[in-house]
Amino acid sequence: MTAKDPLVIDGFASVQAVRRTGKNKQDPHYGQSRTRLPAAHRDSAAKTKGMPRGKIGHTVIPDTFEIVCYECGYTFTLRGRIQKTYCPKCRKILVADEQIIESDWSGRVKTIGTVQVRNGGSLTKAHVVVGNLILDGRIEDSTTKICRRLELGSHASGDIAKIDTRDILIRKGAELSYRSKLRCENFIVEGNFRGTVEVSGLVTVMPGAFLQGRVKASRLLLHEGGGLKATVKIAGTH
């Protein structure tokens, strides 16, 4: 830690459960609760997709979500919405809390859902086991295990390279430059990224995205309209 790092003020106060802030305000134990399931709320699923409440009808085909068990690593799918469930393999109960962090936070959270650290928010000395982490703030001195995807915004900073994640996505509209080498299974660029990546699987550069720096991967997919200015090594699997 350096001198300019902000003090950790109040962990729990800075965490909000998505969409159900009002009810969850009374419960200071976010991330520890085994029974509280804000993500399972029907309205929240609808709003996440940007659809007005009234238009949700019976004809809507439910989304399918890829879920990775944080206990055993088994991957399976859930239809409809992300909610508390049992892992079909190890039979453990999997919590599906969703959280938004908007200021300094240090605590523990374990969920198959998504934790979002917004610009101005940070994780310090936190212990995070999540399905997805959307990081547009700072992370340091934390242990993180992301079972699916780490999404990075323009303000992502700190120990990003130490995050244990399967995939990394540079968010659409994000402008990010990072010094340390990022390692993951799949790397997807929807915004603008400059740095060094070592990817065991596929690197994807989406239309309108730009990837600069050094890339080592076994496969690379450059969509039309996507930019690439990098030293590229395609290693293959043999």
Q: Which residues bind Zn ion (CB under 5 A)?
A: 69, 71-72, 74, 87, 89-90
Question: Which CB sits closer to Zn ion, 89 or 162?
Answer: 89
Give the count of beta carbons closer than 10 Å to the beta carbon of residue 10.
11
Minimum distance from residue 93 beta carbon to Zn ion (Å): 10
63 phi, psi to nearest 5 deg: -70, 155
Judge contact between 234 and 219, C-beta under 8 A. yes
Minimum distance from residue 82 beta carbon to Zn ion (Å): 16
Question: Which CB sits closer to Zn ion, 12 or 74?
Answer: 74
Minimum distance from residue 121 beta carbon to Zn ion (Å): 29
Question: Which CB sits closer to Zn ion, 87 or 203?
Answer: 87
Nearest CA among 223, 217, 221, 222 for reference residue 231: 217
Minimum distance from residue 97 beta carbon to Zn ion (Å): 17
Question: Which CB sits closer to Zn ion, 112 or 134?
Answer: 112
Q: How far apart are CA 189 and CA 79, in angstroms?
A: 27
Nearest CA among 182, 180, 158 for reference residue 170: 182
Strand 75-80 with 63-68, pairing? antiparallel
Minimum distance from residue 184 beta carbon to Zn ion (Å): 21
Q: Could you identify the residue written with the tokens 């809390």?
A: 97
Question: Which CB sits closer to Zn ion, 145 or 172?
Answer: 145
